[in-house]
């Protein structure tokens, strides 16, 4: 409501046609949830629980009902925990893989925003590196191993190894690998930003058909295990225990039935007969079964149609024109609708249907963009940028989520604007008093240099004066000596003076 008020959208109740969120009680509570409160004022509102979350919850419901699936899930968690907190164990696992000349990946976590792809990847790693894990855990519980692991680690290793060497468990793991692949594909389709209601229904039907097909014949992985055990009694060098194919064949049918049951239960509002599913009448592949569905849709949105002066008769005549328009094109429904809505003449021609086209395009089927937004928020608001305001954080997240990719983004303009006109608080390491501090430092240095020059000049003057005094004294001594020598020569004859006497006289001076 605050966002609508801030955006000055006062008539938001007239514009609101759909509501999408996760399955929290605050959103989908029967009496006081957001969707229940909105439907009191907007009777034709379509509230959709995120389809990606619903697929995950369907598998969680199946886990509670199937003990075999629960055991597989628990052992995958133990595997992840064993290598997550022990780099030494992971290093030993890779050494075993090198010795067997095989490749191995680190077991992954089962939890996450994409639960189905996560569990599929974790189970797939175990199936592809089966021999490596069995060899490693056999060595781990060996009595000859030194040093011995702790009792807790040995107990967990024994449980995992017992599970991996059971014939039924191996067959079940390979069966679930193919089953999880179909469910993972469904989950990834449900996470697309371009997903529409009809796309979700189609993906769900495709997944159901794939699951039903797994009931009647062994999967590729199961057949590999069966052939290896029947020929040599070993599977990838390991002798399996409790070989019995009859139980897994019965269990396979039960697993598929339970999965389909819980998926259908979770997606009741998208099954045939619901208003969202009836929007598929605009798909040319669904014709000619469309008359009753169009009437039901018109009845559901009757208040909206009355507001725009659209009658059922107008919709039927427009629908006939639309069928001829859509049949001549091989585009998908969203592209067909967008082409009509972007054409002013077509919008006038399909005055009533254009309202339904807009509703179809804006219905929120999943909330995966919000899940990605949480990850984006953690990237943007980190320890170094923990004081971002709400508005600035929203802008940065919007740029990250809705902006161009890194390959197509030219940052020159943004950097130039940030550098020349950005606020000081947005400049990392910017010190507004830096120039003043630098000027003070320069002034202090200049004064120090001037004092140093003056002191050096004074020292030089003193030194020059000392040298001058010393030279003057020597000159006076020489002059005095020469004078005395001259006087001595005048007082005596030259014949009486010996050269040695002259040298001695000069040395004295």
Q: Which residues on neighbouring strands pair with residue 234, listed in sequence order?
A: 239
Best-predicted range by mean pLDDT among 30-39, 281-290, 488-497?
Answer: 30-39
DSSP conformation class of 270: G
Same domain, 76 and 169: yes
Q: Are 261 and 348 in the same domain? A: no
Instruction: Indicate the average pLDDT of the chain.
Output: 83
Percent of the chain with pLDDT over 70: 89
Residue 183: band (very low, low, confident or very high) from pLDDT cuts 50, 70, 90: very high
pLDDT score recorded for residue 499: 57
* One domain, residues 458 and 414: no
Cα distances (angstroms) measured from residue 275 to each of 190, 245, 272: 19, 45, 9
Confidence label for 380 from pLDDT (cuts 50, 70 and 90) = confident
Distance CA 498, CA 132 (A): 117
Report the range of poorest mean pLDDT among 9-13, 65-69, 185-189, 353-357. 9-13
Q: How far is CA 10 from CA 17, 144, 283, 307, in A?
A: 15, 77, 35, 17
The owner of tokens 């809705």 is 402
- Weakest-pLDDT range from 40-49, 105-114, 187-196, 495-504: 495-504
Q: Do 17 and 35 share a domain, yes or no?
A: yes
| Residue 161 to residue 141: CA distance in whole angstroms | 9
47 beta partners: 19
Distance CA 40, CA 198 (A): 27
- CA–CA distance, 30 with 273 (Å, rounded to integer): 21
Q: What is the mean pLDDT of residues 462-482?
A: 77
Residue 403, classified by CB atoms within 10 Å of its CB into exposed (0-12), middle (13-18) or buried (19+), is: exposed
If asked whether residues 149 and 259 sit together in one domain, one would say yes
**Are 21 and 123 within one domain?**
no
As a residue count, the chain comes to 509
Last residue of a domain, one of 345, 380, 415: 380
pLDDT digits 0-9 by tens, 347-378: 888 888 899 999 988 888 888 888 888 888 88
Is residue 226 within 8 A of residue 245, CB to CB? The reply is yes
The predicted pLDDT at position 498 comes to 56
Domain membership of residue 398 (yes or no) is: yes
Residue 168 included in any domain: yes
Do 192 and 326 have their domain in common? Answer: no
Q: 276 in a domain, yes or no?
A: no
For 348, the domain range is: 283-380
| CA 82 to mean position of chain CA atoms | 25
Q: 216 and 112 share a domain?
A: yes
pLDDT band at 427 (very low <50, low <70, confident <90, very high): low
Q: Is residue 202 part of a domain?
A: yes
Q: Give me the mean pLDDT over the 280-301 stretch.
A: 76
228 vs 249: which has the higher pLDDT: 228
Q: How far apart, in whole angstroms, are the C-alpha atoms of residue 162 and residue 176?
A: 18
Tell whether 109 is covered by a domain: yes
End-to-end CA distance of the chain: 113
β-pairing, 238-239 with 234-235?
A: antiparallel
442, pLDDT greater than 90: no
98/227 same-domain check: yes
25 plus 67 within the same structural domain: no
What would the mean pLDDT of 163-169 be, rounded to a whole number? 91
Q: Are residues 306 and 389 in the same domain?
A: no
**Domain end residue (candidates: 426, 461, 481):** 426
Torsion of Cα atoms, 209 then 215 then 219 then 223, to 10° = -160
Residue 49 lies in a domain: no
Distance CA 229, CA 316 (A): 63
DSSP state letter for 409: -
Q: What is the pLDDT of residue 257?
A: 92
pLDDT number for residue 215: 84
Give the confidence band of 92 by pLDDT, cuts at 50, 70, 90: very high
Q: What is the pTM of this model?
A: 0.71
CB 55 within 8 A of CB 187: yes
pLDDT of residue 502: 55
98 and 225 in a common domain: yes
How far is residue 29's CA from residue 36's CA, in Å, rounded to a whole number?
7
3-state secondary structure of 291: helix
Domain count, the chain: 5
């Amino acid at each position: 409501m605050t966002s609508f008020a801030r955006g000055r959208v006062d008539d938001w109740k007239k514009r609101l046609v759909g509501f999408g969120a996760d399955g929290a009680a605050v959103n989908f509570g029967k009496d006081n949830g957001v969707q229940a409160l909105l439907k009191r004022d907007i009777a034709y509102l379509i509230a959709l629980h995120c389809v990606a979350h619903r697929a995950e919850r369907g598998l969680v419901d199946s886990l509670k009902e199937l003990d075999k699936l629960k055991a597989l899930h628990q052992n995958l968690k133990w595997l992840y925990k064993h290598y997550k907190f022990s780099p030494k164990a992971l290093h030993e696992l890779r050494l075993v893989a090198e010795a067997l000349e095989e490749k191995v990946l680190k077991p992954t976590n089962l939890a996450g925003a994409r639960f189905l792809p996560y569990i599929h990847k974790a189970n797939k790693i175990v199936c592809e590196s089966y021999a490596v894990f069995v060899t490693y855990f056999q060595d781990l519980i060996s009595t000859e191993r030194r040093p011995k692991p702790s009792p807790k680690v040995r107990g967990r290793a024994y449980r995992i190894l017992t599970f991996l060497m059971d014939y039924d468990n191996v067959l079940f793991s390979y069966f679930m690998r193919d089953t999880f692949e179909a469910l993972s594909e469904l989950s990834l389709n449900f996470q697309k930003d371009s997903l529409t209601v009809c796309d979700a229904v189609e993906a769900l039907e495709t997944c159901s058909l794939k699951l039903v097909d797994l009931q009647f014949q062994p999967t590729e992985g199961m057949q590999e295990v069966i052939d290896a055990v029947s020929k040599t009694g070993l599977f990838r060098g390991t002798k399996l225990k409790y070989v019995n194919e009859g139980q897994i064949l019965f269990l396979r049918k039960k697993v598929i039935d339970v999965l389909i049951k819980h998926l259908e239960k979770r997606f009741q509002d998208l099954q045939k007969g619901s208003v969202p599913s009836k929007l598929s009448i605009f798909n040319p592949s669904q014709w000619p079964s469309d008359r009753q569905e169009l009437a039901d849709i018109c009845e559901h949105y009757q208040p909206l149609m009355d507001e725009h002066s659209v009658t059922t008769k107008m919709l039927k005549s427009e629908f006939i024109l639309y069928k001829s328009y859509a049949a001549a094109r091989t585009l998908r429904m969203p592209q067909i609708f967008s082409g009509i809505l972007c054409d002013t003449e077509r919008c006038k021609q399909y005055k009533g249907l254009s309202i339904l086209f807009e509703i179809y395009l804006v219905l929120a089927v999943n909330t995966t963009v919000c899940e990605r937004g949480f990850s984006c928020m953690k990237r943007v608001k980190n320890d170094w940028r923990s004081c971002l305001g709400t508005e600035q954080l929203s802008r940065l997240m919007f740029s990250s989520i809705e902006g161009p990719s890194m390959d197509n983004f030219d940052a020159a303009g943004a950097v130039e604007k940030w550098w020349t006109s950005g606020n000081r608080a947005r400049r990392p390491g910017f010190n507004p008093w830096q120039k003043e501090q630098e000027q003070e430092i320069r002034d202090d240095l200049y004064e120090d240099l001037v004092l140093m020059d003056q002191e050096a000049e004074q020292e030089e003057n003193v030194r020059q004066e000392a040298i001058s005094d010393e030279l003057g004294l020597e000159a006076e001594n020489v002059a005095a000596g020469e004078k005395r020598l001259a006087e001595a020569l005048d007082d005596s004859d030259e014949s009486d003076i010996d050269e040695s006497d002259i040298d001695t006289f000069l040395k004295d001076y």
